Structure 1
Amino acid sequence: MGKSGTHERLEARPIDDDSLMFVDDDHFVEETVCLVTGAGSGIGRATAVAMAANGTTAVATDVDESGLAGTAELGDEIGVDGRVETVAGDLTDDDDIERIVETAADHGTLRYLANVAGMQHIDAIEDFPMEQYDRMHDVMLRAPLYLAKRTIPHIRATDDGVGAVGNMASVHGHYVTSDKVGYNVSKFGLRGLTQSIAAEGGDGLRSFSISTGYVKTPLVTEQIPDTAEQRGISVDEVIDDVMLGQSRVTEMMDPVDVANLFVFGFSKHATHLNGGDLLFDGGMTLTYE
């Protein structure tokens, strides 16, 4: 795609029947529950809707109650075969985490957990505020561990023990860039959590991670115009040169693209995906000029 000089490249593809992946899986029924964090927007919203579109009951959680309402409304708009239920909660609060998991389990048979919630802070290590690091650690690494700890017993208690924990990692779980130490450490840690769950799983319980480059989420796209203005360059130049300069695919992913990876990862078609990482980065980390 050539440089257009517009901001159209920041608009995410709609979540609808044309963009969603649909799979045939006996566990993808309304009785099956998939708990999705960070589901008030972006990848989390897309994942909750995608799993509900595939027939499950997606329990969407986020600290943003209005965002959760928007996720439920989107599910209604596209007419998902399953359901989107919501539960607001703070992933830095253990009591909230326990309540979120138990609420999810009350909606059916809890088999799937998608740890998507994330945040970003940019500063050099010597300037990085530790209170911000602690919050990032709590939301992006400690909470996924505790959510898995509380979810796994529900999976093991099912009639066949089949279920999975999917963790939203990143290219920054493979290599790092400067001034993102909190994000880098958390994403590397998520890959370690993924492999730890796999090591203790078996008999149907799996784990996997997903690593992408830049995705058209509010966390990313809202920063791009400011970056363009600060650097005195166009939005297209920020995308092409600053963000995707190492990538062989010259456009950012859409949230629904990532949601489809979670659908695949949770499905029977990914039986041998256990402890592994789905690296969909457009060639960013494994190729070079």
Structure 2
Amino acid sequence: MSTDEFDPTVPELTADDLLVLDDPRFGPGTVAVVTGAASGIGRATAVALAANGLTVVGADIDEDGLEETVGIAADVGAAGEVRPVRTDLTADDEVESMVEAAAEAGDLRYVANIAGMQHIASIPAFPMDRYDLLSDLMVRAPFLVSKLAMPHIRDTDDGVGAIGNMSSVHGHYATKDKPAYITAKHALNGLTRSIAAEGEGTLRGFSVSVGYVLTPLMADQIADTATERGISEREVVEDVMLGQARTTEMMAPAEVANLFVFGFSSHATHLNGGDLLFDGGFTTTYE
């Protein structure tokens, strides 16, 4: 491989990658909603929660990708089930139908708002149609899913549950050429704290912030950033993305999924309004 080449292959998900916990609420009668479940972190999270015995409603617009997620859950021997529900997260009626389907499947206790997108451009050059789509998908949709899910969580026998939001190092600080993404991630942090403020201690809100994760979305972002900055893809990875981190490898999707598993579990009772920051030192160190 030349110094200018980068291998964008997403690591294969295996049972050994997944955190499995003994938790009294992790069983087939408990339901978790996972958005963006057709690929990347959303797929890994859906599979990880199913491996913990939960019934997982996987929401995504990509039907074929959802079916692949169902197959991967079966391949790793998941004790729980992934139920695919094709959902356009920018269409309110489809979101409502998806949440209702989740509530009908058992006790809806957990939501992982993971679906996302990226567009690389400076603020003056940023197309507003892309801004609107990104904002609808990454801010409005998590708000709506949370709004619809919270009454169901409260209606369980003990009102215990959690909503986890996929934030980012870019929810903590900013780099250039990702203004809409950065704005959205900061907004998600506000939603997380709002859920915690209204959850009365039993319905928790938390966020997960990581650095660079090797997903299909990230592979596309590497190519776009290389074009935007006029450098090679390997320079993007080594200098732009990982140059400031102390851990010099990208995370795997399963590593992020395991943070959601922990965050939903009874081991994380005091994680409420807080953020699980696993960034390899990226936001706390300078070159």
Match status 1:10 vs 2:8: yes
Match status 1:282 vs 2:287: no
Structure 2 equivalent of residue 202 of structure 1: 200
Match status 1:21 vs 2:19: yes
Distance 2:264 2:80 in 1: 16
Tell me, yes or no, if the aligned pair for 1:13 and 1:256 is still in contact at 8 Å. no
Structure 2 equivalent of residue 100 of structure 1: 98
TM-score (norm 1): 0.94
Structure 2 equivalent of residue 158 of structure 1: 156
**Matched letter for residue 85 of structure 1:** R
Name the Cα RMSD after superposition.
Answer: 1.9
**Matched letter for residue 72 of structure 2:** L
Match status 1:65 vs 2:63: yes
**Matched letter for residue 197 of structure 1:** I
Q: Which runs of 5+ in 2 are unaligned?
A: none
Distance 1:4 1:249 in 2: 23
Where 2:258 maps in the other structure, the secondary structure is: helix
Distance 1:236 1:280 in 2: 23
Aligned match of 2:52 in 43, 51, 54?
54
Distance 1:287 1:223 in 2: 23
Structure 2 equivalent of residue 224 of structure 1: 222
Tell me, yes or no, if the aligned pair for 1:161 and 1:203 is still in contact at 8 Å. no
Structure 1 equivalent of residue 73 of structure 2: 75
Match status 1:135 vs 2:133: yes
Where 1:105 maps in the other structure, the secondary structure is: helix
Cα shift at 1:145: 0.6
Tell me, yes or no, if the aligned pair for 1:4 and 1:236 is still in contact at 8 Å. no
* Range with bigger deviation, 163-172 or 117-126: 117-126
Cα shift at 1:228: 5.5
Structure 2 equivalent of residue 109 of structure 1: 107
Structure 2 equivalent of residue 256 of structure 1: 254
**Matched letter for residue 145 of structure 2:** L
Structure 2 equivalent of residue 237 of structure 1: 235
Q: Which runs of 5+ in 1 are unaligned?
A: none
Deviation per CA, 1:173-206, whole angstroms, max 9, x where unpaired? 0001112111011000000000000011124110
Cα shift at 1:13: 3.2
Query: How many percent identity over aligned positions?
Result: 59
Q: Give 4+ residue runs of structure 1 displaced > 2 Å after superposition.
A: 3-14, 222-238
